[in-house]
Chains A and B, each alone.
Chain A
Amino acid sequence: MRSRPDLASWASDLARPVPLAAAAVLAANDHLLKGAGLVPASITGKLSDVAGLLLAGIVAVALARGAVGAVTGALPRRDRRLGVGALTSVGLGFAALKLWPGFNHALTAAWGVNVLDPSDLWALPMLAVAWLWLRDREVGDGAALPRRFTSGLALIAALLVCAATPAPPPVPPPAMPGWAVGEARLEVPCGQVEAWVSKSGKTGAGLTVQVTHAADVERCDVTIVGATLRFRDGAVAGQEVPLSELLATSDEPDDGRYARPPVAAAPVELHYLGFAFDNQARWNRGDRDATFELVLELGGEQRTWTVAAHHAWREFPVEKGGRYYR
């Protein structure tokens, strides 16, 4: 009956200074340095490839030797066919990851983001460095083996470091449904009025209206005297939320997030209209088209402005995701 080689005999390579240093560099680079602003991104990007290929090569050869040893009962040499085959496999996998969009996409889906960048292939010679190191280990194999526990720990650490890299970059948050209007702009004698949907959720929606007074025209008063969100089967009355009251009740200092109450000389006025209704029910039954109707009073004259709106899935940029999705 064949005896299995001891863990310390094939995993001991990973408890040596070179692979331990490569693992430390890889872990520190991916999880501390990247994105910290301490080292240029061009350096952190390449450092992972250099340290990662060296470590991955040594790990691959160690695992291959361990597997062959478990079957045959004898450990093959590190620098002959098995070692070269394992290193070549790592190189081919790395090249496919950097060159082949399909493979990159599949691995990204299962593991994490990896940049499709052919210029990263310059780090491939690190596999030759790994082979040289393994050949030296073969020559110096008579040295005392580290303890089995140490080898096992090094093996686990190396596998974790390889699998846990690279650190994932921030990603956009999940898509959310939201109402949106197209290009909603109304020219008025003394400037223009614009509107955009600024809030949308289960219990309603909110419309922000901006009045921009033209600098070279005599100023006129623009007042929103009515607001309605009209569906096929009914309408919801909007309510203007007085921004000045909001500021007055806010504990936070005015950092510019909220508009100041309109003052006579301001070139821009902001208004916020809230529409409270069961938006979730309408979404669930597919009622996703409506019209905002704003009744504006312009210098004593009333005018109705209608803006078509549609409720659909919206994508949001990374910075909108907040703390939940990073």
Chain B
Amino acid sequence: MTGGWASLARVAVAAAVAVAASGCHHHRDLNAPGVIDPMLPPAALRDRELEYPGDPGERMLMVTTGVLGGAMGGSTGGAVDLAGEVTVSWGENPITHNDRASRLFIPRGVLIPPRSHGVTLGWSALRVPFDDRPEANPVTGPIYLEVQRSWTFAGVGGGWAYDPRTGGTGPQVNAFYTFYFVRGRFLLGDGWELGGGLQLKIPNTWVHRR
């Protein structure tokens, strides 16, 4: 097995494990009570029930894992690029989610805040060059670290990339919307590259009230 295909196998196994462990959200008790003014009587004083308190909203911590696949081109030529990523992000939702409510097209386990910040660690683990020559073997690509700002299903990020194979290092930016992403980077020594494709990322979310 060549180094490239071994990388592919590793990425596939990691992705399978990550996906199997994702797509869930976990409730924590922290800060759970609602918002009230205890010195103001309930609106329906004669109701022998607890008044539903004001919604405090919620905070979320997400660990999102996924794979990205697409094409890239640049100074070093074109290639099919397969990457794996882990993003740790945090955000707030002003309205507490309701597990009983229907959220069309979104699986109930998946919980994403309207706005979030995060840090992404990724690796372009496999590159298969657009080249018919037998010596053009699959290779590994850069490892990168980005900060990320997201708006539900869309986001932008920027950070630094380092290719352990070539020693090239430099900045990179990316943008995504649902399943689509584009990424550009400039590595000192290797030159620039621009790519895009599809991503499959599934969040694992821990949520508690604000």
Contact = CB atoms under 8 A, between A and B. Distances in A.
B33 A173 contact: no
Interface in B30-77: 30-56
A110 interface: yes
B137 interface: no
B33 A324 contact: no
Identify the interface centre among B37, B51, B56, B105: most chain A CB within 10 Å of its CB.
Answer: B51
A150 to B, nearest CB: 25
Interface in A146-173: 163-164, 168, 171-173
Contact of A325 (B43, B50, B101, B105): B101
B99 A174 contact: yes
B45 A258 contact: yes
Given A257-B45, A270-B45, A272-B45, A239 B39 contact: yes
A162 B55 CA distance: 33
B132 interface: no
Nearest to A286: B29
B95 A200 contact: no
A29 interface: no
Contacts of A113: 102
A176 B45 contact: no
Given A198-B49, A204-B36, A320-B52, A112 B41 contact: no
A171 B53 contact: no
A260 B127 CA distance: 77
Nearest to A283: B33
Contacts of A316: 50, 52
In terms of DSSP, what is the predominant structure of the interface of chain A? mixed
Interface in B9-32: 29-32
Contact of A198 (B33, B41, B100, B101): B41
Given A164-B104, A177-B32, A276-B39, A171 B56 contact: no
Given A111-B102, A180-B50, A200-B50, A259 B36 contact: no
B98 interface: yes
B98 A202 contact: no
Interface string A247-283: 0000000001111000000000010101110011001
Contact of B33 (A201, A243, A320): A201
A314 interface: yes
A284 B33 CA distance: 9
A258 B43 CA distance: 7
A203 B33 CA distance: 9
A41 to B, nearest CB: 19
Contacts of A204: 36, 38-39
24 contacts: A112-B104, A174-B98, A197-B50, A198-B49, A199-B41, A199-B51, A199-B53, A200-B33, A200-B36, A200-B53, A201-B34, A201-B54, A205-B38, A208-B45, A241-B41, A246-B41, A258-B45, A270-B46, A279-B33, A283-B29, A283-B33, A313-B32, A316-B52, A320-B52
Interface of B: 29-56, 95-102, 104-105, 107-108
Interface of A: 109-113, 163-164, 168, 171-174, 176-180, 196-206, 208, 239, 241, 243, 246, 256-259, 270, 272, 274-276, 279-280, 283-284, 313-314, 316, 320-322, 324-325
